Structure 1
Amino acid sequence: MRAVQVTEFGGPEVLTPVELPDPVAGPGEVLIDVERIGVNYADTHQAENSYLAPSKLPLVPGGEVVGTAQGKRVVALLNGGGGYAEKAVAPEATTFPVPDGIDDLTALSMLVQGTTAWVLLKRNAHLEKGESVVVHAAAGGVGTIAVQLAKAWGAGRVIATASSDEKRALALELGADVAVDSRAEDMTEVLLDANGRRVDVVLDMVGGKTTDQSIAALAPFGRLAFYGMAGREAPKPLDLRKVLGHSTTVSGMWLPHVFRLPGNVFGTALNDLFELVLAGKLKAIPGGEFPLSDARGAHEALRSRKTVGKLLLDPGK
């Protein structure tokens, strides 16, 4: 089968098209004929071995696919990679049927980005109606869905951050009340001005000073949910005296941990998202489709932070 393999860790240049034997499903697994592959920021970390879960060489990156298994259309999370290929093996427990009316783009957008936004708002932030929500990287895969969910769930004011006029316009189109420049030198001041007071909830996957300055903008009992570090710069260590002094909550979220929660939280989230899509209350934003043979180009585009929405790979090209 055609695939993309990493034999040495590094940037997009290490993604190499190859021919590999077809994978074989073991007990509790399913073999999927892949129709489209989702591209995530986690894949770029996986390729350079900077992800939370260490990578091992040789590696076929990719954690999510949509395709057919045993004659049925499914979307699946993979265990440790293997998605950048024409065929992939996934655990039965993380393989989900795709309802009629849900296209490939939407299925993949909701599987990782959608469930991430759902968990952040429901479980980390415990969003209440009327509260203000800051969505950093609001034109990205998670951000575009988080803006829509926050509005659908009654947020009082949604403040989007993005790096270009086009991205800010997209965030406003999706329901954000105001969109500000993510490149601002003083994000604390920008957020206070945008809300007219301190903010209640921040969803952050940028890191560095964006995180530091967002924490400083939180209202008493405000919550920052940290779920990535696209800027590849760590925030400063938290001063717990300041956390206490401002009644601040800072939490982290790594999607694999959702599967350890009691009950079928991931499945519930995915079903909720599909229902919202079918009801016309939520939509996936296309970010571009690349041939599998140009996975490098997809990673370059993603790391440039010039993309919007969801990026896909086509294994047939």
Structure 2
Amino acid sequence: MRAVQITEFGGPEVVVVRDDVPEPVAGPGEVLVEVARSGVNFADTLMRENGYITAATLPLVPGGEVVGTAADGRRLAAMTERGGYAERAVVSEGYAFEVPDDLDDVSAVALLAQGLTAWWLVNHTGRVRPGDSVVVHAAAGGVGSLAVQLARLAGAGRVIATASAQDKRDLAVSLGADAAVDPAEDDLTAALCAANGGKPVDVVLEMTGGRVTDQSVAALAPFGRLAFYGMAGGVAPTPVEPRELQRGSATVSGFWLIHAFARRDVLTAAYAEMAKQVASGQLRVVRGGDFPMSQVREVHAELAGRRTTGKLVLDPRR
């Protein structure tokens, strides 16, 4: 079977396309999918370096998202622990979603890890309510670009995006952000508050870490909520003292999508809702590139260098 395989941890150079990878075999509660597209996420670059939340073992076929067709004819989009960068992948029925006919392959994959994460951050962890001011960091990325729009659909009064380049900030504004800020500002706290009319903010969706997290916590209004769902910058934020949270009646919480599958009914409804919103034009999936699997090294290099926008996918047939 043709697939990407990693036999040592390291940079993009360790991802290799092979034609002799053993075929996966479905077990109880699993289904074999003929893969049409494989999703690429920042987490894949961490797994490649063995720096993800959970440790990886070698040899490894990376990739946590696929869309394709099962033997019984069902079109499925599914998350998997690994094995997605391949012509065929085994997925658990518990992590698979049926894809409506009017949803294309790229969008079907984009609504998995990134779409469901954005949806949960907006509706549960961040608890965005009508009128809230919402900061979305990395707003041109896969999660961020959807979160900007979902926050607007949830009734946010003001959406403030951050992105490292002007073209990315322009993209965020085109998706519905009211203002866009460079996260490299010396005083990011002041910049976020200025973008909110001089007032602290209600909700922050944050996946960078380091000073961005620190200065975002400082920008929270009373009863403000910061949802932390990643550390793309590779630097841990300063620990937050509970007493400081009490002084501002603030909440800092973490989110990892894997735990949301304990509420599978909620995720099924969320996926179906977003699929309808994409089909109706209410929600736009930003396409970062539909690449042949043969270019996987280049895709990983661009993603690790934070030079991408939107959803990246691989076509395992090319």
* TM-score, scaled relative to structure 2: 0.97
Within 5 Å, which residues of 2 pair with 1:1-317?
A: 1-18=1-18, 19-70=20-71, 71-78=73-80, 80-196=81-197, 197-261=199-263, 264-317=265-318
CA distance in structure 1 between the aligned counterparts of 2:33 and 2:184, rounded to whole angstroms: 41
Q: CA deviation at 1:73?
A: 1.4
Alpha-carbon distance in structure 1 between the residues aligned to 2:302 and 2:289: 10
Task: For 1:54 and 1:264, locate their aligned partners in 2 and report how far apart those are by CA, in whole Å.
Answer: 28
Q: Distance in 2 between matches of 1:130 and 1:165?
A: 27
Deviation at residue 290 of structure 1 after TM alignment: 2.1
1:72 Cα shift? Answer: 2.2
For structure 1, list consecutive stretches of 5 or more residues without a partner in the other structure: none
Matched residue SS, 1:264: helix
**1:45–1:51 Cα contact (<8 Å) kept:** yes
Count of matched residue positions in the alignment of Structure 1 and Structure 2: 315
Please list every run of at least 4 consecutive aligned residues from structure 1 whose deviation after the TM superposition is greater than 3 angstroms: none
CA-atom RMSD in angstroms? 1.0
* SS of 1:143 mapped into structure 2: helix
- The structural deviation recorded for 1:153 is 1.2
Contact 2:203-2:226 at 8 Å conserved across structures: yes
* Deviation, structure 1 residue 237: 1.0
**Amino acid aligned to 2:11:** G
Q: Is the 8 A contact 1:290 1:297 kept in 2?
A: no
Distance in structure 2 (CA, Å) of the matches to 1:275 and 1:53:
33
The percentage of aligned residue pairs carrying the same residue is 57
Separation (CA, whole Å) in 1 of partners of 2:231 and 2:290: 24
Q: For residue 60 of structure 1, give the secondary structure of its aligned residue in structure 2.
A: coil
**Match for 1:251: what amino acid?**
S
Mapped to 2, the partners of 1:75 and 1:44 lie a distance apart of: 21
Task: State how far apart, in whole Å, the 2-side matches of 1:289 and 1:7 are.
Answer: 25
Query: 1:183-208 CA deviation, whole Å, 9 max, x = no partner?
Result: 21221011011102000000001111
- The DSSP-based 3-state class of the residue aligned with 2:111 is helix
1:90-145 CA-to-partner distances (Å, cap 9, x unmatched) read: 00111111101100111011111111011001110111100000000000000110
